[in-house]
Amino acid sequence: MKRACIALILAVGLGLLIDAAVPATTFAGPETAISNAVVAQAAPAQSPAWQQKANKPLTLGMFCVIIAITLYIVYWAAQRTKTTADFYAAKSSITGWQNGWAIAGDYMSAATFLGMAGLISFYGIDGFLYPTGWMVAFVTVLLVMAEPCRNSGKYTVGDVLCVRASPKPVRACAAITTLLVSTFYLTGQMVGAGKLMQLLLGIPYFMSVVGVGCLIIIYVIFGGMIATTWVQIIKAALLVGSGVLLSILVIIKMGGNPVRLFTEVATNAQIQDWVRVKLLAHAVAQPGFDYGQRFLEPGLFLKNVWDQVSLGMATCLGTAGMPHILMRFFTVPDAQTARKSVVVSMFLIATFFILTSVMGYGAAALLTPQGISVVDASGNMANPLLARYLGGLAHPVIGDFLQAFVCAVAFATILAVVSGLVLASSAAISHDIYTSVIKEGKASQSQQVKAARITCGVVGVAGVVIALACETQNVAHLVALAFAVSAAGVLPTVVFSLFWKKMSTAGICAGLLVGTLSGIFLVLISPNMQYPQLIAASDQKIIQTLEKKVQEGATLTEKDQATLNKAKASYEKNKNGTSMLGLSKPLFPLKIPAIVCIPLGFLASILFSLLFPSKREEDAFDQIYIRQVTGIGVSQVVGH
């Protein structure tokens, strides 16, 4: 194993060095047709230093250090991973402080570090609505979920749900839900990884995603929960440290006055132009309208107030239903330690999320949205670019080093979170389906571990394939969709199973399937999907505007002519196209479906429990309730 890890490190390093010679490719977000004209007008004639390509040798070195450290952890953990208890729950031997840092590492994902800073730098306060809900979410986890889940489950959400229900149908539905929720979340992390490698090293997006996927599969297959936990702890420490460093540098740049940051944002002429042209589509500035102040107000990204309410529901409630978060409570020895770990993680997460607003607004004020979009139209690279700019103020080499460090931290973030997601998905298949349903609990330890490792490989490959199809999506938005789906399916059934006597097997299955599938269906018919005919309509507006200039006798600049040619090509490509479901425009108006699918999940659980009650399950409630509150008999969980 040790030799294999060393060989892998050398192979990865050699592969990255070879791929570094590949020229960087350009990539764009879903609103390319609209933003191209704005970027072309706003981009400076000569790109500043922070927009130049990353220092590849330095960045490669940082990445190789991260890979070497994490692979050594895998080697160390592999020596201690022999049984299913080791693989899924680290023998329940993790302390409260360790699990708190690990939860924070599991929770602060690529969406946190890359996506949210990008959203804030592009859309202002709307981007901060995401971390606000995620901060509040852990209050629900602490008060409602942590202790009962620890006292009721063993490895997975399915364990908690089938404590007094029929195990086979419940485990099957729980596994399906876990896989669907994890897929959304996993996709966001993999997209962030691909973009990161593409920007820094010029490695094609396809190769980047495949490489990260291979690393993750190795981590989970050999190291299990022990390796995943320690990778998450190290990553959380690095992430919080880098966030503090960048925020301090931004405040120093503002003369030590945090309030000045917002003044700089509101008075920045390029931000005002960005809001006017790109976000509000005002061809001519409206008299008396303060576009800079508008950037500090909500409604630029989520223009519909119901979208904002729906986002709040998804982020506040979704955490309590995320399988990879709930799974962390099974790694500690008792319920008291589970509560302590939540308190530790709440402090760490809230601190870092507050810092994202400083980093996001700092990127907007110092780099401008137009400057960031020249490098990455999705905004995910705002923080690495900010690091290079701030370090470059002292010396270009320091800028290169700081960007390389921040990107290595982001890379470690992705590795840690994806490891947790793959492990949760693997547990759903191997433990809930193979061991408990197919083998009826009679699989040997070696068979269970083998099944777990095989499913890890399958889930990892599936995550790579899906990430390749979602290249242009902002990672924070993808993760918000995952939270909406988890809040609609997992949360209602777990809460009712723990606290409602009449909850039955039928109610659990209905809540899981109705909540989850309704959320996914609403996403597929929402504005989140790509609608080629709407893109074509945007292209047509650009074509009409530029052709009108020609008719009026003006001569197009080289950039305007390129924009016109690109718009015409895009129009011809998209004018007759449809979405994945054959739609020309969205049927559901909201980007976040939580406001509809969460009530559906709760209603389905209630309705089917009342229509198909179970006397046996009702009679078992009192005994189970005592166990989940007091912890008495928790060791007997193994038997269910």
Per CATH, which fold does 2-529+586-634 belong to? Answer: Sodium/glucose cotransporter (1.20.1730)
- Exposed/middle/buried for 364, CB within 10 Å: 0-12, 13-18, 19+? buried
Task: List C-alpha distances in Å: 449 to 87, 178, 216.
Answer: 7, 19, 17
pLDDT higher than threshold 90 for residue 341: no
Measured CA to CA, the distance from residue 526 to residue 409 in angstroms comes to 33
Higher pLDDT, 508 or 550: 508
Measured CA to CA, the distance from residue 577 to residue 316 in angstroms comes to 36
Please list the helix, strand and coil fractions of the chain in percent, rounded to the nearest 5, in that order. 80, 0, 20
Question: Helices 475-499 and 125-140 sit at what angle, rounded to 10 degrees?
Answer: 20
Angle at 175 between CA 169 and CA 177, to 5 degrees: 105
Tokens matching residue 158: 């399915």
Name the residue among 333, 322, 345 with its Cα closest to residue 151: 333
For residue 11, the model assigns a pLDDT of 37
For residue 185, the model assigns a pLDDT of 75
pLDDT averaged over every residue in the chain: 79
Taking residue 621's Cβ as centre, other Cβ atoms within 10 Å add up to 18
pLDDT higher than threshold 90 for residue 205: no
Q: Which residue has the tokens 């007008």?
A: 41
User: Residues of the chain with pLDDT > 90: what percent?
Assistant: 13
For residue 467, the model assigns a pLDDT of 80
For residue 636, the model assigns a pLDDT of 46
pLDDT band at 632 (very low <50, low <70, confident <90, very high): low
For residue 361, the model assigns a pLDDT of 93
Q: What is the DSSP letter of 443?
A: -
For residue 197, the model assigns a pLDDT of 74
pLDDT higher than threshold 80 for residue 20: no
Tokens matching residue 247: 């925020």
Per domain, the residue ranges of the chain are 2-529+586-634
Measured CA to CA, the distance from residue 448 to residue 450 in angstroms comes to 5
For residue 15, the model assigns a pLDDT of 36
Average pLDDT (142-166) is 77
Measured CA to CA, the distance from residue 406 to residue 54 in angstroms comes to 12
pLDDT in tens, 258-275: 889 999 999 999 999 999
Residue length, the chain? 640
Average pLDDT (211-215) is 82
Taking residue 45's Cβ as centre, other Cβ atoms within 10 Å add up to 4
566-573 CB contacts, 8 Å cutoff, 24+ apart = 566/36, 567/33, 567/36, 567/539, 567/540, 567/542, 567/543, 568/539, 568/543, 570/32, 570/33, 570/535, 570/536, 570/539, 571/536, 571/539, 571/540, 571/543, 573/532
Measured CA to CA, the distance from residue 127 to residue 379 in angstroms comes to 11
pLDDT higher than threshold 70 for residue 77: yes
Measured CA to CA, the distance from residue 5 to residue 586 in angstroms comes to 48
For residue 153, the model assigns a pLDDT of 63
Interacting residues of 535 by C-beta distance below 8 A, sequence separation 6+: 33, 570, 574
Residue type, 214: C
Task: List C-alpha distances in Å: 230 to 357, 462, 504, 518, 575.
Answer: 28, 25, 38, 36, 50
* Highest-pLDDT range among 128-137, 298-307, 352-361, 522-531: 352-361
Are 271 and 282 in contact, with CB atoms under 8 Å apart?
no
Higher pLDDT, 3 or 46: 46
pLDDT higher than threshold 50 for residue 4: no
pLDDT higher than threshold 80 for residue 237: yes
Q: What's the pTM?
A: 0.74
Residue type, 27: F
